[in-house]
Amino acid sequence: MMPVMKRLCEDRVVIVTGAGRGIGREHALSLAKHGARVVVNDLGASTDGVGADTSPAQQVVAEIEAMGGQAVANGDSVSSFEGAQRLINTAIEVFGQLDVVVNNAGILRDRMLANMTEEEWDAVINVHLKGTFAPAHWAAAYWRDQSKAGKPVNGRIINTTSVSGIYGNPGQTNYGAAKAGIAAFTQIASMELARYGVTVNAVAPVALTRMTEGLGPAPETDEEREMRSPKWIAPIVTWLASEESSNVTGRVFEASGQTLAIAEGWVRGPRHAPVDDPTKLGSIVEELLAGARPNSGMNGDPGGWPQPQPQRQA
Centre a 10 Å sphere on the Cβ of residue 262 and count the other Cβ atoms it contains: 11
- Nearest 5°: phi and psi at 86? -60, -40
What does the chain come to in residues? 314
CB environment 168-191: b (16+ within 10 A), e (fewer): bbebbbbbbbbbbbbbebbbebbe
The closest of 83, 84, 69, 86 to 13, measured between CA atoms, is 69
8 A C-beta contact, residue 39 and residue 94? yes
Contacts (Cβ under 8 Å, ≥6 apart) of 142:
88, 92, 98
Q: How far is CA 286 from CA 50, 273, 283, 290, in A?
A: 47, 14, 5, 6
Residue 132 C-beta-side C-alpha neighbours within 13 Å? 27
Catalytic residue chosen out of the listed positions 142, 167, 175, 196: 175
To the query of whether residue 196 is one of the catalytic residues in this protein, the response is no
Query: Catalytic positions, please?
Result: 175
